[in-house]
Chains A and B, each alone.
Chain A
């Protein structure tokens, strides 16, 4: 039997809006991905949980600054766990997409991204990693 892809999802901010993250999570579950949802989290907490849960993917819902993304990517590099795919989504200006990719983020999904594209990206890139 094929091993299910596991993703851990969290929000880097403290605001708690759930509509966007819920739609992505639902699409992933419908596509057979196992989703663990952390709610509001920090780089430190989600990276620790990612290791404990042995996930393939970390998904971050971001807004505001990229402080937590930067911290997460540093932790990933330091701990040599870059086999974990990192995808981020949220209100991200077009001009910042490259900036996030330069930090080492694998996939960036701004508003209006198709849910099927997010699912497809995760499925094909987890296989490759």
Chain B
């Protein structure tokens, strides 16, 4: 029989948000006197963008349904993306294998030692040919697309492949709407891998892509800082906000130090971010609202940005997969529903959803489809798209929005006191801050202080249902290896060598590497070869020691 918790939540004496902000029983006009003057609250699309990035919000433009997809070999991954688009997804985000993330070709010893792991989380993409095989048959230009390239070290390669593909298919750049990733949080916070290039080199490569796309491909948002990745690692909401803003500051300072572009030329290229929504429904709604206002203040007050394109923050919200449970996994559909709802009520431009089997395997087709339908039901059936910022003006929502903003500014100061974002990840300070938060949360769940249905209350002895977990094509490594061998045999070695030499030289001389990377991918230089050049020029990251490991 399912067990109810011993200590009932209705008997508890203190109330606070997940990040520890104390909560009153009821909120009134006295709680919103400072920051948010409810009587004079600005419309969405107006500075400080508290109520929304755009006027009219979902009446004008529904949020984009943008779910992470793609595992197996390239064909299998592409078919899943295509299926998702057929079913009504309105943007696509095609994932690559871990070997691609680390910039290894599949014959690298670290990959060969784990051949059967290839394809479990995404398809291996090693060359422009692979990229064209994966992305080339998808409706780029018709729907919003992710260029690929999760880590900063992948940014130039993937943007170059994307641009080369547009070139070949004669799709005008103005026609596409897309984003890259180059995320520092997954690269240097939630993962520690000894083969990554150092964070300062990652920053340089991201900024190369920003500079190049601002000038040549302004419809691409080349990077997108992903707050969800720091949250999945254990950070709380205001740590997530502060980390994003200080990471943005490091990018902005680096761009300004180059002296080639002004803040209003490039701010938009950094101003599209990912934010998480998790198990504190109201706190995460307030976080999204507050984040837009903070972005506005940071850009206008610190950097004197003027154009609304610079001052307006766009948000892709990602409901957290880490709140999904292994136990009674169909319950995760409900968790997905309320976290998508908080993303909507916060006013996100784009939303992803984890699938209900998140804690079990890479999404099966059924779970993936259900994740998509969750968003469609909210969009088409629930009426939540009718009114802009429907919670705006609530005493509680405005008070909590003010409070989380204050917490985030304070924490941003702490990061800056520790040398700024890059310094605080090089020293490991930020990792240890987050891991303390993570351990505190795990302890609260383990000891039953925080209730998780099916995990520490209402548990069942026998799971009521079983399903077949996802497994990728077991021949993924062989297929990728064959494509790699063919590429190496057929490509023009002279051109390859010339392009590699040129890229090496450009990096050594600290010039913008984008043109050289575009030339390299067009000459069939592989991601492993480019990675090798990076590792030679920059060395590998001496990752910090983390408490407990």
Residues of A within 8 A of B (CB): 12-19, 21-23, 25-26, 29, 37, 39-40, 42, 63-65, 67-68, 91, 93-96, 110-112, 114-116
Contacts and interface: CB of A to CB of B under 8 A. Distances in A.
A16 B192 contact: yes
B548 interface: yes
28 contacts: A13-B98, A13-B114, A14-B102, A14-B114, A16-B191, A16-B193, A17-B191, A18-B191, A19-B232, A22-B438, A22-B548, A23-B438, A25-B549, A39-B194, A39-B549, A40-B110, A42-B113, A42-B114, A93-B469, A95-B466, A110-B326, A111-B325, A111-B326, A112-B326, A112-B359, A112-B455, A115-B446, A116-B446
B435 interface: yes
A67 B446 CA distance: 31
B369 to A, nearest CB: 19
A19 B469 contact: no
Given A26-B548, A91-B359, A64 B193 contact: no
Interface in B420-451: 435, 438-439, 442, 446
Interface in B6-24: none
A15 B101 CA distance: 9
A22 B360 contact: no
Contact of B117 (A21, A29, A67): A67
A79 to B, nearest CB: 19
Interchain residue pairs A-B with the least CB separation, the first 9: A93-B469, A65-B116, A16-B191, A16-B193, A64-B120, A26-B548, A111-B326, A64-B117, A67-B116
Nearest to B438: A19
Contacts of B547: 22, 26
Contacts of B232: 19
A95 to B, nearest CB: 6
Given A42-B114, A112-B326, A22 B469 contact: no
Nearest to A30: B548
A94 B360 contact: yes
B234 interface: yes
Interface in B111-131: 111, 113-117, 120-121
B193 A14 contact: yes
B489 interface: no
A95 B469 CA distance: 8
B361 A18 contact: no
B527 to A, nearest CB: 15
A26 B440 CA distance: 12
B452 to A, nearest CB: 8
B540 to A, nearest CB: 12
Given A17-B191, A95-B466, 9 more contacts: A15-B121, A26-B548, A39-B549, A40-B194, A42-B113, A64-B114, A67-B117, A91-B360, A110-B326
A40 B469 contact: no
B462 to A, nearest CB: 11
Contacts of A91: 359-361
Contacts, number: 106
A21 B117 CA distance: 19
A35 to B, nearest CB: 8
A40 B549 CA distance: 12
A25 B549 CA distance: 7
A93 B360 CA distance: 5
B425 to A, nearest CB: 13
A17 B186 CA distance: 9
A12 B548 contact: no
Interface centre among B115, B193, B232 (most CB of A within 10 A): B193
Nearest to A44: B113
Contacts of B116: 64-65, 67
A6 B213 CA distance: 53
Contacts of B98: 13-15
B191 A15 contact: yes
Contacts of B99: 14
A29 B547 CA distance: 11
B473 to A, nearest CB: 12
A71 to B, nearest CB: 9
A23 B442 contact: yes
B41 interface: no
Nearest to A24: B548
Nearest to A28: B548
A29 B191 CA distance: 22
B326 A14 contact: no
Given A112-B327, A112-B455, A12 B446 contact: no
B114 A67 contact: yes
A19 B190 contact: yes
B113 to A, nearest CB: 5
B463 interface: yes
A111 B114 contact: no
A96 B361 CA distance: 11
Given A67-B117, A95-B468, A115-B446, A23 B439 contact: yes
Nearest to B431: A18
B507 interface: no
Contact of A18 (B113, B325, B546): B546
A115 B463 CA distance: 21
B437 to A, nearest CB: 11
A111 B466 contact: no
A114 B446 CA distance: 6
A94 B463 contact: yes
